[in-house]
Structure 1
Amino acid sequence: MNKVNLQFLNLLKSSLNNSDYNCEEIDFNDLIYIYKMSDIHHGVPMIYNSLHKQEFFKNTDQNFKAMFKSCAFRLTISQIQRSSRFVQLYKKLQEKNVKALVFKGIIFRNMYNNPDERMSSDEDILIKKEDYDKVKEIFLNEGLEFIEKDGDECAYFCKSTGLCIEVSTSLFAHESKAYGHLNKLFDNIFEKSININIDGVELATLSHQQHLIYIVFHNMKHFLHGGFGIRQVADFLKYIETYGEFIDWDKFWSDLKMLSYDTFALNLIDISLKYLGFDDNKAVYPGGVKNFDEIKNSHNYYINSDALICDILDAGVFGSSTDDRKHTALMTLDAVQENNDGNRLKAIFPNVDYLKGSYTYLEKYPVLLPVAWTQRILSYIKKNNDNTSSYINTMELGKQRIELLKEYKIIK
């Protein structure tokens, strides 16, 4: 862990724990790097909140400081507007007797000391298939723009606030060989749902048991698609700190073990303890163990999060930090689906389903797949002056990330 990454994590820890940053001073060049890190991890307001009282920050370049402050305030105000609009729209669903389960987003923000500093790019709701048309009618009547998507989801966009609402009828795409099977743990999701009061409105959401295990699955899903950011680890630890007393820990760990996700979850906790000030008093580990050191010292589980934290910091939110990282998704998904080393050629020659969103003619004429491959390769070469170097970077990064999947027992 290099110095500036550790400084970034210490600032995030201060925000998560509502405490003062009391580590070493940060010089101007490192502050620029930390701003960039907070941006790709969607944490500018949280990091600014930890910095603005520090003397070294008060004395830094005035233009940089003003830019950082302006960005943090703008993002926070924008989040407040989006949250308010979402609550209004949710009330409309309630008035029409539509049961929509809210997950992630506003539910997670509610766990933070300063909720609107925890950014959400969108809000997610889960509905029953029979309510799909009713929800569409309600949102269109409210002036939202309909965005069609593949599979079991669509989206609605509010131009005035920038709010995007993702509407799903399942938590994971059923057709996915990599994670479609995870839906079986959520068959009774509506029957087990609970309510959480936010801004005076009762929002229906997943049970605490199902929401916590969903966080683990969701993080792994995005790991396969390029990676996930440190804020997703923060959501995991905040959920345990806030709702750990409501979790059936024996079932939690047995469900994860059944799907070979237990080692991955334990390493998320290792990161939370090492870098984010996690208070694990409400967590219980496999076998009823209440002390994480006991789990580590038992050697029954592989606990080594060094490579994982590096991947997380490099990834940004949902692995979007670089094009090279996005392209590795084809290798990691293939490795999980086929439980092999990942077909490197698939990073160059994806199937029709992967490309039809970018090359719409494939919907009607899948036989033109070789044409799409050629277009994609030419576009990639045009965007990258040193295309050979970029290709090598993608392949090497994909190989490294497949090794992580093996390390954490997701694949053999």
Structure 2
Amino acid sequence: MAETLVDIRLYYAELIRACLEKRKPAPIPEKVSLNDLLSYAKTGQISYPIFSSLIKLDIDEEHADTIRQALKLSTFRTFMQMGAFTEITNALEAAGIRHQVLKGAIIKRDYPSPEIREMSDIDLVIYDESLDKAAKVMEKLGYKNHGIIKHHMIFTKGNDLYVEVHWCLFDESVGHSQHLYFNDFRARRIDGKKYTYEFSHEDFYVYLIAHMAKHFFETGCGIRNLMDIYIYVNKYGEQMDKEYLDKELEKCGIRDFEREMRELAFIWLDSRDCPEFYENLFAYMLDSGIYGKGENGVWGQLAKETVAGNRNIKVHYYFPSIKFMKEKYTWLNKAPFLLPIAWAVRGVCGVSSKTSREHRQQLESTDKDNVEKMLDIYHRLNLNFRK
């Protein structure tokens, strides 16, 4: 583990705590570059807590001006998003459309100030068969309808408001069992409302972790997720039913993932001693930006194919097991003897697929020690999303 990344981990914890505690942080350590602090904060979408602490230090005017402008923009965006959140949910309620706001717009309210927790978009789910009706409500509010993209509808207003309207809580193309789990209606109607829903504290936390796990399995995810865990558990941990949480996390196949991420969140932000596994995990997440990198998708799939200490990594990548191949080529269920043909089809398709090329390049360019380090992370987190 590079010593500089350890220093960044420790100093980021100091900057974030200083923001939460509304105090001046300790000076920047000699081994830590201000530019690195700014860069990682921007790509990880944790600029506000980092910048709001750094601006209290004696730094050069050029950097100070950049930070002040970024803080103004972030604060303005939060103001716009929170206003839009209220306007949209009120309009959907008035139109009699059952709906629920998700993720960032909800957890923002659990931070000491909502601007501390940045978000790129407002996510909400529409229940029943009301998508067309919801689209008309959004358009009436002045949003541009960009249509259906993947598993949601996209709406924008100006340069600062981006809204994703979903019709299910978890995309089936990522994980079938998780999709079925969240299709089992768990939300409750908000007091005083007829059509506006929310999760209990426990169910929100399960959804928060499931969404994080999905990103981590597919491409990795950033350290802002650790902030969310730290804030949420500190605020609601004693109130939540731990037996229920363990049971529901187990149903989603993310109990090990939650345990390790919660441990890392508190190691990091409480500045506890950090074992090597968690140093490696933090460094990987720090480098992953906010939603990960396409090339990182190779690790989750390889972890499903291998066991700890396995040395035949490339064999497993180029010639996956029939269990793995059946997930994509369902015709193998009836004709497993055609596995070599499925391998050939996969290879041909991989040549023209950008994602496959990224995965292959990542595997080929990563040395043996780092491959084993990455697989150790994914094996220990024990994620097994299946289509």
Aligned residue runs from structure 1 range 164-175, under 5 A: 164-175=162-173
Corresponding position of 2:35: 32
Corresponding position of 1:383: none
Once structures 1 and 2 are overlaid, which stretch shifts more, 231-240 or 253-262?
A: 253-262
Aligned equivalents of 2:88 and 2:376: distance in 1? Answer: 44
| Distance in 1 of aligned mates of 2:135 and 2:368 | 42
The equivalent residue for 1:181 is 177
2:153–2:165 CA contact under 8 A, matched in 1: yes
For residue 266 of structure 1, give the secondary structure of its aligned residue in structure 2: helix
Gaps spanning 5+ residues in structure 2: where?
Answer: 308-312, 320-324, 329-344
CA gap 1:312/1:376 in 2 versus in 1, 3 angstroms:
closer
1:110 aligned onto 2:109: yes
Q: Is the 8 A contact 1:228 1:319 kept in 2?
A: yes
1:14 partner amino acid:
A
- The 2-side partners of 1:257 and 1:4 are apart by 33
Name the TM-score, length of structure 1 as normaliser.
Answer: 0.73
Q: How does 1:194-343 map to 2 (within 5 A)?
A: 194=190, 204-277=197-270, 304-320=277-293, 326-333=294-301, 335-336=303-304
Shift of 1:27: 4.9
Corresponding residue for residue 375 of structure 2: 402
Secondary structure (helix, strand or coil) at the match of 2:35 reads helix
Residue 31 of structure 1 aligns to which amino acid in structure 2?
Answer: L
Q: CA deviation at 1:402?
A: 3.1
Compare 2-11 and 185-194 and name the one that shifted more.
Answer: 185-194
Unpaired runs of at least 5, structure 1: 279-291, 294-301, 321-325, 355-366, 381-386
Distance 2:117 2:282 in 1: 20
Query: Quick check: 1:328–1:398 contact (8 Å CA) kept in 2?
Result: no
Classify 1:372/1:146 alpha carbon distance in 2 versus 1 (closer, same or farther; 3 Å). Answer: farther
Relative distance call for 1:404 and 1:390 in structure 2 (3 A) is closer
Taking a change above 3 Å as real, the CA distance of residues 331 and 148 of structure 1, as seen in their structure-2 partners, is farther
Deviation at 1:195, TM superposition (A): 5.8
- On the 8 A contact 2:217/2:383 being kept in 1, the answer is no
Correspondence for 1:192: 188
Quick check: 2:14–2:26 contact (8 Å CA) kept in 1?
yes
What one-letter code is carried by the residue in structure 1 that aligns with 2:167? Answer: T
Q: Percent identity?
A: 18
Post-superposition Cα deviations, 1:74-133, rounded to whole Å, max 9, x if no partner, equal: 122122123212321221111101121111122111111121231110011111241111
Q: 1:138, CA displacement in angstroms? A: 1.3
- The answer (yes or no) to whether the contact 2:100–2:126 under 8 Å persists in 1 is yes
Task: Provide the residue aligned with 1:363 in structure 2.
Answer: none
Closer, same or farther: CA 330–167 of 1 in aligned 2, 3 Å: farther
Q: Distance in 1 between matches of 2:301 and 2:145?
A: 29
Partner of 1:13: 17
Amino acid of the structure 2 residue aligned with 1:143: G
> Does the CA contact (< 8 Å) of 1:328 and 1:397 recur in 2?
no
Question: Residues 137-176 of structure 1 correspond to what in structure 2 (within 5 A)?
Answer: 137-149=136-148, 152-158=151-157, 160-176=158-174
The CA deviation string for residues 2-59 of structure 1, in whole angstroms up to 9 with x for no partner, is 22332123212322x32435545445961111011111111112112222223xxx2x
AA in 1 matched with 2:9: N
> Deviation of residue 213 (structure 1)?
0.8
Kindly provide the amino acid, as one letter, of the partner of residue 10 in structure 2. L
CA contact (8 A) 1:148 1:155 kept: yes
User: Residue type matched to 1:2 in 2?
Assistant: V
Match runs of 1:363-378 below 5 Å: 373-374=351-352, 376=354
Q: Aligned letter for 1:11?
A: L
Residue in structure 2 matched with residue 384 of structure 1 by the alignment: none
Residue pair 1:327, 1:394 contacting (<8 A) in 2 also = no
Question: CA separation in 1, counterparts of 2:154 and 2:371?
Answer: 30
Aligned to 1:364: none
Moved more, 30-39 or 250-259: 250-259
Label 1:243 to 1:372 Cα distance change in 2 as closer, same or farther (>3 A).
same
78 and 260 in structure 1: CA distance in 2 versus 1, 3 angstrom threshold? closer
Q: If the length of structure 2 is used for normalisation, what is the TM-score?
A: 0.77
In the alignment, the residues of structure 1 paired with residue 206 and residue 102 of structure 2 have an alpha-carbon distance, to the nearest angstrom, of: 12
**Greater Cα offset, 89-98 or 142-151:** 142-151
Q: Secondary structure in 2 aligned to 1:267?
A: helix
Distance change in 2, residues 1:75/1:169 (3 Å): same
1:317 Cα deviation after fit:
0.6
CA apart distance, 1:245 = 4.1
Number of residue pairs matched? 350
CA change 1:26–1:305 in 2 (3 A) is closer
Residues 408, 274 of structure 1: alpha-carbon distance in 2 compared, 3 angstrom cutoff: same
CA contact (8 A) 1:228 1:317 kept: yes
**Pair 1:303–1:269, CA change in 2 (3 A):** farther
Partner SS state of residue 247, structure 1: coil
- With a CA cutoff of 8 Å and minimum separation of 6, indicate the structure with the bigger relative contact order: 2
